[in-house]
Amino acid sequence: MAKIQCYNCKKVTPVVAPKYRCKFCNYPLNKYLEQPEKQPEEEVVIENIKQVEETPERSINDVFRVQQEQIDIKTILEKLKPDEKIEKSVTGQVIIKENKNPEKSGKIVAGWLVVHTEGKLPVTYELFEGKNVIGRPDGPHHVDIRVEDDEYVSRIHALIYINKDFLHRFSYRLADDGSLRGGHPSTNGTYINGITDRLPKDSSVFLRDADTVQVGTTKMVFKSTDVSDDHYSAANSVLNTEFTNTVAILKK
């Protein structure tokens, strides 16, 4: 049943076929029914016009976003090393640095290091139980954490020792003790969480989740398996955090 405002008495009245007259003053209203019936349609049209006006802006933003993502992915692909691969997660791209050490093959991942340095790719390294060597892989020596684009990183720079306790919980210990380079620590030092004092040769530090390890000018955030479920969550949690201060390295 349609209700409209009577053109004659100005009261809101129901109008019923076939008379289409005002209930209060009996004024014929059949010729005024067309406009009220079309009113909802006009409202829809207005809303559609608004949507059309807003759509180009949204579409342009979407295009810019997609284009930027394509540029970022293209740049990443151009910079990928032969032992790096890129995987797509729900929230973005995750770059994995493959560990080709046969001793690590088949072992359970015990943690991750995620590069979080301004202007560098967010490469994710897997850590395994035992000894994990950080260094520059430009010789016959073996390196687990292969930092290739930093001249301040020594060939054998630092180590992360990962062991299990009696409850099968992992512990993570970082050392720059020179045990694999004739007792000499790294040339430019290893730093924790932006502290300007380098890690002493005769001591080590136990890593906690979200600690930042700096070797050369490269900063890597440590993620443990107690907090992250896989390399996707590890990498994405790091990318959503602020950068730690970089310790200045004086070239020697």
8 A C-beta contact, residue 109 and residue 126: yes
8 A C-beta contact, residue 94 and residue 235: yes
The counts of H helices and E strands in the chain are 2, 14
Domains of the chain, by residue range, sit at 2-32, 84-239
Distances (CA, A) of 96 to 90, 142, 176: 16, 18, 24
Query: Average pLDDT for residues 60-70, to the nearest whole number?
Result: 40
C-alpha dihedral, 56 to 67 to 88 to 210, nearest 10°: -100
pLDDT (0 to 100) of residue 93: 65
pTM of the model: 0.65
pLDDT digits 0-9 by tens, 73-95: 555 555 556 655 555 444 456 78
Q: For the chain, what's the residue count?
A: 252
Q: Residues 6 or more apart from 211 whose CB is under 8 A from it?
A: 192, 193, 221, 222
pLDDT band, very low/low/confident/very high, at 45 (cuts 50, 70, 90): very low
CATH number belonging to domain 84-239 = 2.60.200.20
pLDDT digits 0-9 by tens, 130-170: 999 999 988 778 899 999 889 999 999 999 999 998 888 99
> What stretch of H or E contains 71?
helix 34-79
Is the C-alpha dihedral spanning 191, 196, 200, 201 positive or negative?
A: positive
DSSP-derived 3-state class of residue 39: helix
- Whether 63 has a pLDDT exceeding 70, the answer reads no
